[in-house]
Amino acid sequence: MKRNRKNIVVNILIIVVMLVTGIFAYSKTHQTIKKVAADNTSSNSAASVSAQADIATPPVEPPRLTYTGKIPILMYHYIRDYTDQGDPIGVGLSVSPAKFAAQLDYLKSKGYQTITFRDVEKNIVPAKSIILTFDDGYIDFYQNAYPELKKRQMTAVSYIVTGFNGGRYMNNSQIKEIASYGIEIGSHTISHQNLATISLAKAKNEITDSQPILENITGKPVISFCYPAGKFNDAVVALVKNSGYKYATTTKNGLADFTDPLILSRYRIGPDTNIASLIK
Ligand SMILES: [Zn+2]
């Protein structure tokens, strides 16, 4: 009798120990699965483990990396043969088509790849990247620059003033055509005014309202902006940011530093600029 009772007590003890061990092991495994899922939320296999471990956990998007390096940005205006002595400003803003073509060949020979701000946004920035920008949307971009870019499978950014359309400037169908090819269309406001001196309400209108006009023409999001005549102040930069632009260029001379993506410097290219002195 005594022996039997002792056996029963021992058996009960064994069962209790097994139960406790089992519960402990189960909870430990469950925690490990949760931890693995939390550590690898971006991969598919982890996502399915996560789904098994805890159905209520929403999928987590992998973090999008922000590019914060430096890229040379060239600033062009007219691509045309122009030597009017009475218009020194116009001459200073012009690069001949022959010289422009030679500059593109030089960049290719040095292994440079032309990219756009859309590439920068996606963090697709090859080691030798360069951004070519063209201010004001002049018709000669369509006539003289675009064919040379296309011939070499190169790209660029064209800053359009939405109120300047046709005549000296590209019209909507030309803007649509270059955008379809892959030229990025950026905003250069509605009427090219000095944003630092007009009222903030007017500046807001110039910055914000030009964006959907261009998006309607191109069918693509407009993420880049260019300050007319390079004029801006803190309030203007805040308006540009609040309108949803990711990148904005100034006329400040130098290599663009993308830690400050809304006040990017550029290299001004004039009729006599030797780009070999800027771009090695
Ligand atoms: Zn301009």
**How many Cβ atoms from other residues are within 10 Å of residue 45's Cβ?**
10
Q: Chunked in runs of 10, what are the mean pLDDT values of the chain (280 residues)?
A: 54 50 46 40 42 60 80 98 95 97 98 98 96 98 98 98 97 98 98 98 98 98 98 98 98 97 98 93
* Ligand 1 centroid to residue 67 C-alpha, Å: 26
Q: What pLDDT does 222 receive? A: 98
* Ligand 1 centroid to residue 226 C-alpha, Å: 8
3-state secondary structure of 212: helix
Distances (CA, A) of 51 to 37, 46, 64, 131, 147: 9, 8, 23, 43, 52
Residue type, 176: K
Predicted TM-score (pTM) of the model is 0.78
Q: What pLDDT does 63 receive? A: 59
**Burial of 161 (C-beta count, 10 Å sphere; 0-12/13-18/19+):** buried
Distances (CA, A) of 178 to 42, 94, 112, 183, 257: 36, 21, 21, 5, 27
* Ligand 1 centroid to residue 219 C-alpha, Å: 23
Q: What pLDDT does 29 receive? A: 42
* Ligand 1 centroid to residue 154 C-alpha, Å: 23
* Ligand 1 centroid to residue 148 C-alpha, Å: 22
Give the whole-angstrom CA distance, residue 59 versus residue 44: 10
* Ligand 1 centroid to residue 146 C-alpha, Å: 18
